[in-house]
A and B are shown apart, each in its own frame.
Chain A
Amino acid sequence: DIQMTQSPSTLSASVGDTVSITCRASQNIHSWLAWHQQKPGRAPKLLIYKASSLESGAPSRFSGTGGGTGFTLTITSLQPDDFATYYCQQYDSYPYSFGQGTKLEIK
């Protein structure tokens, strides 16, 4: 099974900052990686798919890079609505595992 490891687990930042979250896969998943955003008490929402493709309707301040085993989600010019928990997920092979999540908090 493929293990997904995110870092950091918690990230404190201010409105207007640029932040990055890293996700590592235990084996090559090519570009089959998605990023989902979840706010408290709400269902997750897809932001990025195929490592770097922005989902329709997602703000352009979100971007994804990487491939193989290393991936990064970057959020530029943080907005108040962006403070949430972010999960990476591989969909290269089942079980389609998630990272443990990164909680983005207001500093």
Chain B
Amino acid sequence: QVQLVESGGGVVQPGGSLRLSCAASGFVFNSVGMQWVRQAPGKGLEWVAFIRYDGSAQHYADSVKGRFTISRDSSRDTLYLQMNSLKAEDTAVYYCAKSRHGPLIDKWGQGILVTVSS
């Protein structure tokens, strides 16, 4: 069955960096797009980024454009989110998500908490 396991979260100071990883299994990783979605404490879902199945294109929310980079390593079946210049408003649970039919999210990881605080 599909499994998406996030790692790399934690507490970081404002202006700092963090890299999230998402280990994928149970499907052909290099044939589907992947995404990151986040949820601030007590708030709704916010789409963050998408990467095509072959890594040839990436799209970002305006709130993270220029600071976050989504990437993938098909040799490791792993998705990444490099987060730089972190702000307090980036504090959230970050979900890795598998896509189907292009950008449709059909499976979610369990989520990982990122806290930006001094």
A interface vs B, CB < 8 Å?
Answer: 1, 32, 34, 36, 38, 43-46, 49-50, 55, 87, 89, 91, 94-101
CB distance from B114 to the nearest CB of A (A): 15
CB distance from A84 to the nearest CB of B (A): 13
A98 in contact with B44 given A43-B95, A43-B109 (CB within 8 Å): yes
SS class, residues of chain A in contact with chain B: loop
Q: Which of chain A's residues has its CB closest to B44's CB?
A: A101
Q: Out of B102, B104, B110, name the residue touching A43 (CB < 8 Å).
A: B110
List 23 A-B pairs, Cβ < 8 Å: A34-B105, A36-B45, A43-B108, A44-B95, A46-B105, A49-B101, A55-B106, A89-B45, A91-B102, A94-B50, A95-B47, A95-B59, A95-B60, A95-B61, A96-B50, A97-B47, A98-B37, A98-B44, A98-B45, A98-B46, A98-B47, A99-B44, A101-B44
Set of chain A residues within 8 Å of B60, measured between Cβ atoms: 95
A97 to B59, CA, bound (A): 12
Q: Which of chain B's residues has its CB closest to A101's CB?
A: B44
Q: Which of chain B's residues has its CB closest to A55's CB?
A: B106
Set of chain A residues within 8 Å of B35, measured between Cβ atoms: 96
Q: Which of chain B's residues has its CB closest to A45's CB?
A: B108
Return the CB mask of B61-80 against A: 1 if under 8 Å, else 0. 11000000000000000000
